[in-house]
Amino acid sequence: MFDLDQIPAESDTASDLEEVVMGLIINSGQARSLAYTALKKAKEGDLAAAHQLMAQSREALNAAHLVQTQLIEGDQGEGKIPVTLVLVHAQDHLMTSMLARELISELIELHEKLQSK
């Protein structure tokens, strides 16, 4: 996962902001990937592995959300952080990962019910 301790206190340069934004992309992508792997495990009948992968997915998503929160706090609603295409892409990545994770969680629950019959 992206190391949050490496985020500069203030991102004055474009490269610093880009590094922070990459934290969103990396962590949200990892969360989505782990969730899809969990779904595959659930389909195979390995529900324990599915739940473990979903827990890891939650950790990655929490890390991405923390980066997002830090960006929002740094901006303070005053436009301090420039909105770039890569920042918009990162936000899109985060939101689709959150949605995918929620839907996959529901699908895993359905697999559990089907396997218990």
**Catalytic annotation, residues:** 89
**Which residue, among 55, 84, 67, 81, has the nearest Cα to 27 in the 3D structure?**
67
The annotation status of 92 as a binding-site residue, yes or no, is yes
Residue 108, φ and ψ in degrees, nearest 5: -65, -40
| Integer angstrom CA distances of residue 107 from 25, 37, 61, 69, 99 | 24, 12, 18, 29, 12
Q: Which residues are annotated as a binding site?
A: 92
Q: Which residues are annotated as a binding site for Mg(2+)?
A: 92
